[in-house]
Chains A and B, each alone.
Chain A
Amino acid sequence: MGNIRFIEHDGTEHTAEIEEGKSLMQAALDNAVPGIDADCGGSCACGTCHVIVDRRWLDKTGAISSIEEQMLDLTPEKEETSRLACQITLSEAMDGMVVRLPEFQM
C-alpha cells in the first residue's frame, strides 16, 4: 500500500494511504487533512479542494479538463501545478506523491 503526503501551508505534514480508484479529495477528507473544504462534494464545481502538486508527480495525476482549469482560474492562489483534488483519481503509481495545500481555499 502506497502513501500520499499532504503538506499544509505552515509545513505540517499529513499522510494518507492510497486506495485505488478513490479521489485525492476523498483521501484527504477520510484522513482529516485540514484545509480541504470540498463544498461541492467532488463535482469540480466549487474550487475548495485546491492542491499544488509537486512538479515531479504532475504527469502521474492525469489530464486536466477545461472545467477544472476554469475553476482554478477563479482562485488568486493558483500556481503552475495547481489541481483540484476531486479530479485526481488515486493509483499505486502515485506512491510517495507530495501535494501542498494553499494558504486559503477560495
Chain B
Amino acid sequence: MNSLTVYLFVALLLFCIGMFGLLQRRSLIGMIISIELMLNAAGINFMAFNRFLGPDPAVGQIMVLFIMGIAAAEAAIALSLTLALFRKLRSINIEHARDLRG
C-alpha cells in the first residue's frame, strides 16, 4: 500500500464518519460538526493528490484555503439559523421541528 492510498483511505473514512454523524445526530450543533468533517475530508484528498500527482504544487493548497473559507461561511449561516430555531422552539433538536408534514 503506497502512501497516496493511505491518505485517500483516511479521507474516505473521515467522509463516511461525517456522513454517519449527519444522519445519526439529532442536535444541530452535532450536524454542523459532522459537516466540517466531510469538508475536511475533501481537503485531505486535494492535498494528497497535489503532493503525489499534481504537476503544479500550488493548486491543491489554494483549493484547501478556499474550502476553509467556505466552511467558515457555512458555519456562520448554519449557526445563525440554529439560533433562530432556538429562539422559537427553545430547543436545537431537529426532532422538535416537525410542523411540515404531508
**A interacts with B:** no
